[in-house]
């Protein structure tokens, strides 16, 4: 079976990592897999095995008056390749895939929706282009409910994220509490959905000593550094590749997103047995329990975020350790890469 994975790009985001892992695992099972990237690939290429790196094609599509021409070229190229299955990730790629589904009689398209929020203009196009024969894969119950609520046509399957491969020594449950400041870590590209502006507002004038280090590419300073002015505890550190090393040195993890698909960063923090504060997004309540394996709060609630952070800081070392271990246990029980790839295989054969 010939499979093409179409994605907006291969940056450092969670969706891009899932694209890379899926490509690797499908290739390992003997499928002919290629990745088409609409823009020049970024640091996410490091997740690909060597074989898949060689089968990566980029269209270098950028936001400009010529974007539509490049999009048309991408459609033509994919149709010329004539894959048995086309799997699309991220909304612009989703729309291109559904266009191909409309005009091709031989290419079977799987649309992977990785978030519980899609901009109205893109959602409208998805609704127009999809039909009862369309196939959607979502990674959380929240995303599935969003599609149902919006009356998007097609068969829908919930497939959890891959955890991914870890090298020996990557994971550590030994956290290093600073004598002077409590060390928080947040992971994620700096954009509006990550709600670092909410985090900054919640910490402005908050009692106690802490450091909140945020790692991720800074795409929009308006939703990050500019919002954190005069909040000395928050530091935007930019992109980092040594995530597991950084997690092992933190005392706790915070995810304050407005919306998510299924947050990879939270899964990685849980595997380090860190106590977690998270907003109730991306289906996290499907595998974590409030006040047991994490503190789960509503999104965009500054007061709740502040109270949750202060609560974790006020816990004893034993209480934080127990919460972190319960989070790790919950993630390992809920996520299983073998089951995940088997579900993807089943969806690929859905059309037969």
Q: Tell me the CA distances in angstroms from 288 to 8, 166, 251, 292, 330, one per residue in order.
A: 30, 22, 19, 8, 7
Instruction: Please name the helix (run of DSSP H) or strand (run of DSSP E) that holds residue 123, with its range, or none.
Output: helix 120-129
Same domain, 255 and 307: yes
Structural contact between residues 199 and 305, judged by C-beta atoms closer than 8 angstroms: yes
- The verdict on 88 and 211 lying in the same domain is no
CB 50 within 8 A of CB 21: no
Round to whole Å and give the CA distance between 331 and 45: 25
Instruction: Tell me, yes or no, whether 139 and 273 share the same domain.
Output: no
Q: Which residue range(s) make up the domain with 247?
A: 182-334
pLDDT digits (tens, 9 = 90+) for 210-267: 999 999 988 777 776 777 777 889 999 998 888 899 999 999 999 999 999 889 999 9
108 and 221 housed in the same domain:
no
Say if 34 falls within a structural domain. yes
- Report whether 344 contacts 26 (CB < 8 A): yes
Are 135 and 98 contacting, i.e. CB atoms less than 8 angstroms apart? Answer: no
- At 170 the pLDDT is 58
Predicted confidence (pLDDT) per residue in 90-110, tens digit: 999 999 999 999 999 899 999
Q: Higher-confidence residue: 12 or 235?
A: 235
Q: Do 312 and 341 reside in the same domain of the chain?
A: no
In tens, the pLDDT along 176-200 reads 544 578 999 999 989 899 999 999 9
pLDDT at position 49 over 50 = yes
Reported as a pLDDT band with limits 50, 70 and 90, residue 168 is very low
DSSP assignment of 292-352 equals TTBEEE-TT-HHHHHHHHHHHHHS-HHHHHHHHHHHHHHHHHH--HHHHHHHHHHHHTTT-
pLDDT of residue 172: 56
- Rounded Cα distance between 38 and 6, Å, is 8
- Pick from 172, 238, 240, 228: which is nearest to 202 by CA? 228
- Do both 224 and 329 map to the same domain? yes
Same domain as 329, residue 189: yes
Residue 113 lies in a domain: yes
Domain membership flag for residue 307 = yes
Does residue 160 have a pLDDT over 50? yes
Mean pLDDT of the chain: 90
- Between the alpha carbon of residue 243 and those of residues 71, 114, 329, the distances in Å are 34, 22, 20
Residue 281 gets which letter from DSSP?
Answer: -
- pTM of the full structure: 0.88
Confidence of residue 271 (pLDDT cuts 50, 70, 90): very high
Output Rg (C-alpha) for the chain, integer angstroms.
20
Q: List pLDDT tens digits, range 198-226.
A: 999 999 989 999 999 999 988 777 776 77
Cβ–Cβ < 8 Å for 126, 146: no
268/246 Cα distance (integer angstroms): 11
Residue 281 forms part of a structural domain: yes
Q: Is residue 174 part of a domain?
A: no
DSSP state of 45: G
Kindly state whether residues 131 and 223 are assigned to the same domain: no
- The CATH number assigned to the domain holding 28 equals 3.40.50.2000
So what's the pLDDT on residue 90?
92
The DSSP H or E segment spanning 78 is helix 67-81
* Spatial CA neighbour of 18 closest among 163, 143, 135: 163
Contact between 244 and 224 under an 8 Å Cβ cutoff? The reply is no
Residue pair 203/309 in contact (Cβ under 8 Å)? The answer is yes
How is residue 298 written in tokens?
């509503």
Q: Is residue 167 part of a domain?
A: no
Is 16 in the same domain as 130? yes
Tell me: do 145 and 188 sit in the same domain. no
Helix axes 14-28, 264-271, angle to 10 degrees: 80
Token pair 């590419």 is found at 217
- Interhelix angle 14-28/337-348, rounded to 10 degrees, is 80
Q: Do strands 108-113 and 295-297 pair parallel, antiparallel, or not at all (unpaired)?
A: unpaired
The single residue listed with the structure tokens 């947050």 is 263
Is residue 258 in some structural domain? yes
Give the percent of the chain with pLDDT over 70. 92
- Counting the structural domains of the chain, the total is 2
Are 131 and 29 found together in one domain? Answer: yes
Higher-confidence residue of 314 and 261: namely 314
Q: Is residue 175 part of a domain?
A: no
Same domain? 223 vs 193: yes
At 279, is the secondary structure helix, strand, or coil?
strand
């Amino acid at each position: 079976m010939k499979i093409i994975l179409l994605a907006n790009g291969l940056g450092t985001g969670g969706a891009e990592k899932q694209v890379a892992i899926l490509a690797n695992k499908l290739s390992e099972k003997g499928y002919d897999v290629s990745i088409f990237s609409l823009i020049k690939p970024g640091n996410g290429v490091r997740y690909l095995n060597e074989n898949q790196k060689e089968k990566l094609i980029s269209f270098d599509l950028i936001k400009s008056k010529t974007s539509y021409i490049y999009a048309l070229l991408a459609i033509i190229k994919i149709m010329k390749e004539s894959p048995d299955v086309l799997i699309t990730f991220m909304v612009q790629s989703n729309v291109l895939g559904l266009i191909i589904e409309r005009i091709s009689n031989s290419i079977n398209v799987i649309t992977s929706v990785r978030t519980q929020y899609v901009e109205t203009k893109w959602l409208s196009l998805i609704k127009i282009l999809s039909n009862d024969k369309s196939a959607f894969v979502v990674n959380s119950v929240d995303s599935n409910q969003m599609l149902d609520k919006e009356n998007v046509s097609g068969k829908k399957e919930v497939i959890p994220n891959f955890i991914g491969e870890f090298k020996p020594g990557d994971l550590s449950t030994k956290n290093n509490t600073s004598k002077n400041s409590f060390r928080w870590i947040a992971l994620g590209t700096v954009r509006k959905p990550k709600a670092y502006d909410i985090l900054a507002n919640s910490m402005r004038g908050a009692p106690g000593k802490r450091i909140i280090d945020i790692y991720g590419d800074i795409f929009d300073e308006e939703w990050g550094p500019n919002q954190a002015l005069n909040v000395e505890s928050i530091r935007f550190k930019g992109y980092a590749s040594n995530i597991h090393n950084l997690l092992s040195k933190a005392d706790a993890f915070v995810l304050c997103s407005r919306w998510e698909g299924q947050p990879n960063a939270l899964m990685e923090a849980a595997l380090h047995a860190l106590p977690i504060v998270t907003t109730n997004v991306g289906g996290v309540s499907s595998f974590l329990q409030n006040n047991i394996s994490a503190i789960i709060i509503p999104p965009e609630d500054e007061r709740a975020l502040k109270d949750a952070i202060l609560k974790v800081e006020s816990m004893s070392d034993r209480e934080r350790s127990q919460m972190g271990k319960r989070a790790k246990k919950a993630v390992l029980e809920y996520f299983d890469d073998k089951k995940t790839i088997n579900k993807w295989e089943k969806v690929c054969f859905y059309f037969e």
